[in-house]
Structure 1
Amino acid sequence: MHEETPTMSETEIPPAAVLTRHAEAETCSDPSSVMTLLADSDGTPGGFTSYRSTFAKGAAGAPAHFHTRATEMFFVISGALQVLVGDEVTVLKEGDFLAVPPHTPHAFAAAPGCEADVLFVFTPGMGRFDYLRLLGRVMRGEADPKEIAESSERFDNHYVDSPVWRAALEGSA
């Protein structure tokens, strides 16, 4: 006797799965990038956060910072992303993957003369969508930049000074 293995239809999603349809994803934008919010920790198994950012040529990205709890992962979908990890600056190109562990200073920006389309994943996640929304409001002049500093513990985003990163950005200007 032969038993068929049940299959799921295209529209069914297992209870523990996370599906964000492109047409339904929230987007946040600032003058040089668009962030597509994919999954925040509250609704994900294991508590991860993921979003996609598209950076225009010359987009600043994020200044030097670190996280105390989360590993931040980068996957370059297209274009090129200049990154700082510790005291080393490198360029990630299409198809490159980078995982930055907790307590490691890092920064990123569109590589000189390039656009970048990047998938970001944080694990464990911690409700970062409000932080991304805040960044957009600050970049558009709708919120005070001091709100970012005041939220560092809440969002596990701690800014640091990096002469190496400053020099890299000045060299690409």
Structure 2
Amino acid sequence: MAKGERRQQLLATAFDMVRRDGTDTLTLATLAEQAGVTKPITYEHFGTRAGLLLALYRDYEERQNAAMHAAIAASGRTLTEVAEIVATAYVDCALTSGPASEEIAATLCAYEETKDFLQASRRACIAGYAGAFSAVAAVPPERSEALFSGILGATEALARSATSGQITRETAITTIAQIAVGAVKEATSR
């Protein structure tokens, strides 16, 4: 198997393991066993358990960002369309991964070498939102960080509620989009 294909196979296996058993039993050795490869192969791809968790979280983020950017390129012409696309990409990715991505993020916080990763990831997501909305709304730069941080917070909370079954996918997406549209309109009207 080619190296890139092997890495994707290992990530898929690791994600299934987290989904099934949580992160406590996920190690490079257990991943190797579950994937039917030798331990050196998992070490070659990820180096450490923290490296594996980082790769899992990055893979989750990349899928979410790819879905969002593709949809915006195809149909993100208005503020409402962009808000719905951003909401849909986030909620659908959260629903696909279930609580596994949150557990991976929580476990990453326990590692010294990854303590800044999640904060940097959050900043990148905020910047991604600012970029997504920039084509349809001129948010003042001095308001951008706070505005998109707030939208991200609401998005995370509503996606979590959808993932746990407290609200439907449609309710989460509609509510996130309404919050984003209202917040962006308010920020650009001043």
TM range (shorter): under 0.3
| TM-score, structure 2 normalization | 0.25
1 or 2, which has the higher strand percentage? 1
1 or 2, which has the higher helix percentage? 2
